[in-house]
Amino acid sequence: MPFLFLAMRWIGSAINPAAFSGIVTVFGVGTLLMPLAVGAVEGLVSNFLMSKHAVFSERPKV
């Protein structure tokens, strides 16, 4: 039983730094990509609204 505990503890201590750095990397990439994603979504929405406005030639509802 103590061997299992030591093995689990060793595996946990080996995984922790890797998992932590992986989480930090994911969050870092997420914060970098967030403005790009928001800009892309805004661009798509504005393009859609503009094309809809051009096709139906109606005032966009506010």
Domain boundaries, the chain: 25-62
pLDDT band at 14 (very low <50, low <70, confident <90, very high): confident
Output the pTM of the full model. Answer: 0.37
Per-residue pLDDT reduced to its tens digit, 28-60: 777 777 788 888 888 888 888 877 766 655 555
> Could you give the dihedral angle defined by the CA atoms of residues 32, 33, 34 and 40, in that order, rounded to the nearest 10 degrees?
140
pLDDT beyond 80 at 15: no
Residue 53 identity: H
pLDDT beyond 60 at 27: yes
Taking residue 16's Cβ as centre, other Cβ atoms within 10 Å add up to 10
